[in-house]
Amino acid sequence: MAGNLSNPTFTFHLKIAKFDIHPKAIYPVFLAGALIYVFSVVCNGIILGLIITQRSLHKPMFYILFSLPLTDLIGITGGLPRVLVGILTETNYVYYPTCVLQAFLLHLYADSIPFLLAAMSVDWYIAICNPLRYNSIMTPCKICGIIVLAWGLDFVLILVLFSLQSRMVKCKSFITNVYCDNPSLLLLSCGGDWTVNNIYGLFITAFMQMSSISIQLFSYTQILITCIKETHALNTCIAQIATFFLFETVTTIAIMSFQIPSISSNAQKICGLMIYTVLPTVNPVQGHIRIAFFLDLKKHKVNPGKNTSAKNRK
């Protein structure tokens, strides 16, 4: 990789784009961003703490849920603090290795969300449509296997993406976005043939979207058919479906904003940053709903994974 960075016009100390903010608005904007970050960290931290400390939540169905707030913390911590520091200090410099690390973490976060939501939909499908077989089907080993598959597949796809980007010779020193991502790093190159990079980028996007949407569409269709009269379960599933649609909406808005020339530069940067701030702020609500639903079932002594065959035989 060192050979690819040997061009004399490339430097490890890069300039990065920043928001055009009026001096009087710097502190209010920074405060608003800091509050969003603190709110997200606290709420996601509470969910992680509840799952760790409450023995009643030490169930296979909460193993996957544990991954979601953890992922949200990676996303918002990877994206927002550096932007806020840049706004407050009015500096726009970033060190190349930390820029690559930020880009890798942000892509790891963004691509893990669809896989984790698909895994959660399968878990809910088994819990609601096959409650008597849940414990035999969704064993701790199988749940851990699903989590490892989701994270492992995401990690490998992103690692290949960045490997393709790193082979390009760098000769520029300006990051065109307010945070580092793969397209911005690719624009540091001197040109060359980006065909492989573009094809692979389209492939992982299509693969991620098609696999996630198809799995969730099947799972939630079956759930809605099975428990249309179960208000609590239905509300919980609707909350998770809303999370998926919110992710897709925010991502689409961010992509489209860069395709419309009439949109201001600041608006484009805000839309891009929304991917890493909106979901980590909203997702804790879905997590709390799921935990509340489970605790409500426990309160009424209804366990979706409990085998009640002995009771039925009496």
In a domain, 311, yes or no: no
In 90-194, alpha helices (H): 96-129, 134-137, 140-166, 182-186
In a domain, 180, yes or no: yes
Query: Residue 98 — very low, low, confident or very high, per pLDDT cuts 50/70/90?
Result: very high
Q: pTM value?
A: 0.83
Structural domain range at position 294: 2-302
Tell me how many domains the chain contains.
1
How large is the C-alpha radius of gyration of the chain? 22
**Rounded to the nearest 5 degrees, what angle is found at the Cα of 270, between the Cα atoms of 39 and 35?**
20
CATH of the domain at 234: 1.20.1070.10
Q: Is 142 exposed, middle or buried (0-12, 13-18, 19+ CB in 10 A)?
A: middle
Place of tokens 């903010």: 21
Show Cβ contacts of residue 276 under 8 Å, excluding neighbours closer than 6 positions: 75, 76, 78, 79, 80, 106, 109, 110, 179
In a domain, 271, yes or no: yes
Q: Is 310 exposed, middle or buried (0-12, 13-18, 19+ CB in 10 A)?
A: exposed
One-letter amino acid at 138 equals M
What pLDDT is recorded for position 230? 58
Query: Residue 108 — very low, low, confident or very high, per pLDDT cuts 50/70/90?
Result: very high
What pLDDT is recorded for position 37? 94
Model pLDDT for residues 208-260, shown as the tens digit of each residue:
989 999 999 999 888 888 776 555 566 666 777 777 888 888 888 887 877 77
Nearest in space to 34 (alpha carbons), one of 70, 74, 87: 87
What is the 3-state composition of the chain as percent helix, strand, coil, each rounded to the nearest 5?
75, 5, 20
Query: Residue 273 — very low, low, confident or very high, per pLDDT cuts 50/70/90?
Result: confident
What pLDDT is recorded for position 77? 93
In a domain, 307, yes or no: no
